[in-house]
Amino acid sequence: MSWCLSSSTGQKISLLSHKLLKLRAFSHLGFSEYVKERLGVDDAKSRAWNTTQTSGSDVESSIYTILTIDRWESLNHMAYGLKQLRPVHGRLALKFLKWVIKQPGLELKHLTHMYCLTAHILVKARMYDSAKSILRHLCQMGIGSKSIFGALMDTYPLCNSIPSVFDLLIRVYLKEGMIDYAVETFELVGLVGFKPSVYTCNMILASMVKDKRTELVWSLFREMSDKGICPNVGTFNILINGLCVEGNLKKAGNLLKQMEENGFVPTIVTYNTLLNWYCKKGRYKAAIELIDYMICKGIEADVCTYNVFIDNLCTNHRSAKAYLLLKKMRKEMISPNEVTYNTLINGFVKEGKIGVAAQVFNEMSKFDLSPNCVTYNALIGGHCHVGDFEEALRLLDHMEAAGLRLNEVTYGTLLNGLCKHEKFELAKRLLERMRVNDMVVGHIAYTVLIDGLCKNGMLDEAVQLVGNMYKDGVNPDVITYSSLINGFCRVGNIKSAKEIICRMYRSGLVLNKIIYSTLIYNFCQHGNVTEAMKVYAVMNCNGHGADHFTCNVLVSSLCRDGKLGEAEKFLCHMSRIGLVPNSITYDCIINGYGSIGDPLNAFSFFDDMIKCGQHPSFFTYGSLLKGLCKGGNLVEAKKFLNRLHYIPGAVDSVMYNTLLAETCKSGNLHEAVALFDKMVQNNVLPDSYTYSSLLTGLCRKGKAVTAVCLFGTAMGRGTLFPNHVMYTCLVDGLSKAGHPKAAFYFFEEMMKKGTCPDTVAFNAIIDSCSRRGQMMKANDFFSTMRWWGVCPNLATYNILLHGFSKKQALLRYLSLYSTMMREGIFPDKLTFHSLILGLSKSGIPDLGVKLLGKMIMEGTLADQFTFNILINKYSESGKMRKAFDLVNFMNTLGVFPDRDTYNHIFNGLNKKSAFRESTVVLHEMLENGVIPKHAQYITLINGMCRVGDIQGAFKLKDEMEALGFGSHEVAESAMVRGLLHCGKTEDAMLVLDHMLRMRLLPTIATFTTLMHRFCRDAKIAEALKLKGVMELCGLKLDVVAYNVLIMGMCANGDSAAAFELYEEMRHRDLCPNITTYAVLVDAISAANNLIQGEKLLTDLQERGLISWGGSTQHLDKELTVAMGKLNYIRFKRRNSVNNKTN
């Protein structure tokens, strides 16, 4: 081929053919198949070049024949007469190359050599697209830029090539994003004395600016000058844009002036570039000045110039001003185009001005501009956003009538809007319409609908739609599965979410970063941070780096769970993986320490935050204040709040409410009111939370009336509308303070004013009824709660279950428990406690024990309180073996008996007169660090004496004195009473005499017990003697002691002496009780003593116990009536005590 190959080249080809023949059996490099596929496209392109030309076809045919029969030597003897290459020769070179690459055993350097030869030939034949394709293959083969350049230089003289080949190589590098290789080639070309064209240089500069490598732009520009490459206007346009990208608008303006000074005339593109950036940075004044400067230079602003302005104004929500610019365009005889109107319509739609957007749309039609799909899509999207689907569908019909083809964006916009407004039936009909219009319903349309269903909790329908996708031959993508996973996770159905993940893997899809983040977020939302951390570990193992959002969610959840140590470790982990903790990360940890009342660590992390250059927010300061408050450092918290006043805007109602709430909890209401006044003085308006804190504090201190007054004052000012929290505080506070009627009044007022009570409010009023035993009323409120659509929670059921258990309403609380389980509310420790209490009170503790077992099997740990209910029941009924079995079970579970446990066992053993066993229990209490009460020793001493174990009683008395449980007087007095209980009066008196000789003062109860024994034995004189001894010892008789003596005297028929004791009582300011009056009335009636009877009736009337007219005619009858009333009062009080005991 004499026009491009010298004789030496022919020899090289001949040698190459022999090498190819020898290496056919050693093909192992694998280049041929790859290159053959890539060159198939180029071969097709080459055939498109001037197929009508037949010149040179004979030469081509001859050469091709020689090539096919491997007669390489014959090529050297052919006479080539053509002096200039044409496309036919380029096609021939491509055929030759295609044949060569099919040969086995071809080495990389030979292949590179052949590619470069072919590239030179194609450039000479002006087949630039094919040449670029050849060079692109070289670039993609992993050969370095220096190697390719060297190969091109080696083959350059063989083909008498031209420098354009290097320009093409640089452009190919740039197209492939290999900017470094392009720059390196640019430098190599300069070293061999060639100069790339200015257009190639401009392409390098533009790629650098686009890749934000502006620091290299000026270096290359200087090299252009050094190599003598003269820049053009395009060069300066790129440089100006690069400066604008860096934000150096001032330098860009200066470069524009230097450009003009050097004789370069800026074009409209130059000015539009600067205008665009002026608008982006909000420098509208500079932009207008630039337009005026353009006009002075004779360059008229075109539609693109105005479009730049209009687009920027619309982006910054200033569409009205953009429309005024449209009017100005028309005045200046510049016709707006479709882009102008589309930008305006889209701007008005984003601002929610759908009506104005519709007017602009109509105006567009008036000026003979046809709306396109972009126009309609923007308007349809706007109408969908406001829920006007009728107009959106009308526009859809209008599109079809105008001959516009509805695309996926159009349908996707409508589907998205319908799903957001929960119009799923319409959305399904739209899918059918797509099918009717021969529109392929792809995974995007399905995904939009599935996502909408999932967000609205319609998960079954979403799964069914996925099935329809498969039937239609549409495979769900990662986004589809992501929507399903997110939907199931949001409702806490992790099992189904995991099934979706398994289905993804079976489909050949893998979890992406978004799905991992979704799982982590939802696990954290449901309080399962352990699972979230496991997902995070898998995410890292699979090469998906977490972002700040995911890490901050994990840190926040760890802090919320109180795992602050783990949160700190995770903070260090973030730093190790190159993710610098931001202000939100620090806020989470500071808030975590603040929530547990650890201000020291909170301020420590605050210091670290400042050192790292992170700026604290108002939330940060709030967390620090909360830490001081919850840690009980209210004085320091107050000082800190005062310092925050110096930070503009840092102190708001939230800050004051934090300090106010904790101050109220501490019970310091005086300080809370002072803080409230200071809040008002500093122009911080109290809100509902402020008043709620004060109301709660007042109610907690029992100042319910003051709370009501404060509530009335707040409402009277008219600046605050009461919310359900304030009402709930009042209802709960008044209920607990013993004002149920007032609580009901505020609850009813809340409902009348349309303030819907929440679950907490209903729980407060139900609890109020339950505390007073009004379970029917509580049940009515429970029904009202459901009628209002307020869902009961676990606390609601626990309150009701406890109330019905106390009432022993077995069927009612079992039915309530069943309802609770059906609604998916799982019991906790309090639930089981209430159920066990009910079963015990209903006399079936054995069933309670079975329920206890179930509770423990389900993972709910029983405490002493629950065990004690059953132990107490078995002890009361004398089933001590079962009681001891439960105690052993407690110890097995690691739940140790407390004081109540021992008391129940002790009382149960005493009932069975097992006093020695009771002594063992007392000793075990001491061993386990539970201090017995001296009353228990006294009870045991009395019991031992009663069964005749006097020696044991004395031993126990000595033990009681040695251990210091009560004074010596108490111990000796216990022995006296014990001896009396077993009928040993003489021995009791001996002990009493011993006490008096030892100057030990017996208790009033001891004297009273002895007097009672003497009165019962009709030894009134002995009893009165003991009364004298008491008075000599300085002990004053109480009402019980007087009653014992009065009853003894009345029983002995000495009502006159009994009445004297009554007068003595009154003289000593002791108030006689019902027993006193009943005994005296009965004795005086029997003795028919009118004077004493009249006196007694007068006293009763003064006490308000009877009403008596003062007549003495029927005094006996009046005394009988008085006796009846006293007996009635005694009966009523006895029942009241029994009810309280139950």
- Report the C-alpha gap between 136 and 145 in whole angstroms: 12
For residue 609, what are the contacts with CB-CB under 8 A and spacing of at least 6? 583, 586, 590, 616, 620
Tokens standing for residue 955? 């031993």
- Report the C-alpha gap between 208 and 625 in whole angstroms: 50
Q: Is residue 493 in a domain? A: no
Q: How many domains does the chain have?
A: 3
Tokens standing for residue 543? 């090469």
- Kindly report whether the global pTM for this prediction surpasses the value 0.85: no
Domain boundary residue among 744, 773, 792?
792
Q: Is residue 96 in a domain? A: yes
Residue type, 298: G
Domain boundary residue among 147, 162, 177?
162
Tokens standing for residue 1085? 């009636």
| pLDDT < 70 positions in the chain | 1-85, 88, 105-106, 718-720, 965-967, 1109-1114, 1135-1142
Cβ atoms of 529 and 539 closer than 8 Å: no
Domain boundary residue among 792, 827, 861?
792
Q: Is residue 751 in a domain? A: yes
- Report the C-alpha gap between 459 and 464 in whole angstroms: 9
- 506: closest CA among 481, 484, 540? 481
Cβ atoms of 512 and 544 closer than 8 Å: yes
| pLDDT at residue 950, rounded to an integer | 77
Q: Is residue 720 in a domain? A: yes
Cβ atoms of 1106 and 1121 closer than 8 Å: yes
Q: Is residue 697 in a domain? A: yes
How many residues would you count in the chain?
1142
What is the b/e burial string over 632-653, where b = at least 16 CB atoms within 10 angstroms of the residue's CB?
A: ebbeebbebbeebeeeeebbeb
Q: Is residue 1094 in a domain? A: yes
| pLDDT at residue 979, rounded to an integer | 79
Q: Is residue 116 in a domain? A: yes
Tokens standing for residue 568? 């700190």
Q: Is residue 1065 in a domain? A: yes
Quick one: three-class SS letters along 796-860? HHHHHHHHHHHCCCHHHHHHHHHHHHHCCCCCCHHHHHHHHHHHHHCCCHHHHHHHHHHHHHCCC
CATH code (residue 742): 1.25.40.10
Q: Which domain holds residue 1122?
A: 1056-1142
CA distances from 334 to 301, 305, 340, 415, 891 (A): 8, 10, 11, 38, 94
| pLDDT at residue 140, rounded to an integer | 78
